[in-house]
Amino acid sequence: MRVTVHGTGYVGLVTGACLAEVGNHVTCIDVDAGKIAALNRGEIPIYEPGLEDIVRRNAAAGRLKFTTDISSGVHHGSIQFIAVGTPKDEDGSADLRHVLTVARAIATDMRDYKVIITKSTVPVGTADKVRQAVEDVLAQRDPAPSFDVVSNPEFLKEGAAVGDFMKPDRIIVGSESQQATELLRALYEPFSRNRDKLLVMDVRSAELTKYAANAMLATKISFMNELANLAEICGADIEQVRLGIGSDPRIGFEFIYPGCGYGGSCFPKDVSALVRSAKEHQFDMQLVRAVEDVNDRQKRVLFTKIERFFGGDLRGRTVALWGLAFKPNTDDMREASSSVLMQQVWAAGGRVRAYDPKAAGEARRIHGERPDLDYCATAYEAVEGADVLAVVTEWQEFRSPDFELLRDRLAARAIFDGRNIYDPVLVQRMGLRYFGIGRNGPIP
């Protein structure tokens, strides 16, 4: 099939590459000429395991092309994916300007039937706005080509996006057109070999499903963080509590790991947009608002522990920071807990020595070069000259460190484990003080 993907960000690039991988001819469009030039050189703008190989292989085979020419892209594909960014606006709502701009561009150049698919995460009712934008442009033409608007939200986890696309749990299609539905069914057939994973529903339900999924997962995380904070106060161990409740099949073990807050491009933006969308319908989502508030507070928990440890004075102190990305296997630092912690340390007069396997370049882009921040080439370089260690991202290489080396290099001999990846008993046996999330009482 001939497919066009508008947007070469995280969602658009993975979508285009994976569709090409199963034999489709895909054209990816972006207004950023520099990004398109880099992609045509085989350079991938994001880190995502497995993506680089798929992009290069399909580009070499001629099935995957990158261009800034919107007109050629519109003419290329009968299926038009809109996968551009929907950043959080000042009021918390999703900014749909890029989505609607692409919709108008498709309408301007389309000459025959198109299925226009919103792949970006968008509020309920966006498909109606896309349809209206296209109709407004086509009203100038007689006869006007026919089209359908479909909602097909993505459910890709950063760090596992290629696997999620190639072997999806479900494929949500919001459509009121039999013709469009059959085209989507054919497009996704290679990804549904063992069973039919296509769930067809009305457009608005599909749009809400995406927000509902992310809000549900964010709720589980914030709930566990609340329990972890309570556990510290009352002397319980949240890890034992996690095992106790996770063993209940109605709850399960997924997304019940407490920590120093969630981040990324999805959960914070989507939770905020859902609250805002409800407000536009005069409905107050109290629970979802609380999820957002709890997460904002949780991102400051690690600093509070460090500050108390030093008696409220971080001047002249250095914190080694392991992990900058908001989660492992990505270089994405959007809404990352690491940025919140660093800003707090700097404001208190402290220094940071940071290491991340993939996100150092992104950190430099965000925070630049500054005298109170050292970018380190290895995890153990980061602890040289540091007083304490803060673990913010649970990268695999951090899970079994040399605790004797850490004890010898950390002046204050303390680890602040923001992801609860270490055994407190083992760490303390190695001569280090341990402070996790909900795993011990508050620092005196």
Residue 364, H or E segment: helix 360-367
The CA-based diameter of the chain, rounded to the nearest angstrom, is 80
For residue 147, list its beta bridge partners: 114
The residue behind tokens 């250095």 is 318
Residue tagged 């923001």 (tokens): 418
Q: Of 18, 260, 266, 376, which one is the catalytic site residue?
A: 266
Three-class secondary structure of residue 158 per DSSP: coil
Q: Residue 263 and residue 246: Cα distance in Å, rounded?
A: 23
The contacts of residue 158 (CB under 8 Å, 6+ apart) are 10, 48, 264, 265, 266, 327, 329, 330, 332
Residue 324 gets the label, from left (phi > 0), alpha (psi -120 to 50) or beta, of: alpha
Q: Which residues contact 193 (CB under 8 A, 6 or more apart)?
A: none
d(CA 52, CA 174): 30
How far lies 438's CA from each of 57, 224, 263, in Å? 46, 10, 20
Q: Is 266 labeled as catalytic in the residue annotation?
A: yes
Identity of the amino acid at 428: Q
Give the Cβ contact number of residue 428 at 10 Å: 15
What phi and psi, each to the nearest 5 degrees, are found at residue 398? -90, -10
Give the residue numbers annotated as catalytic, written as ranges: 266
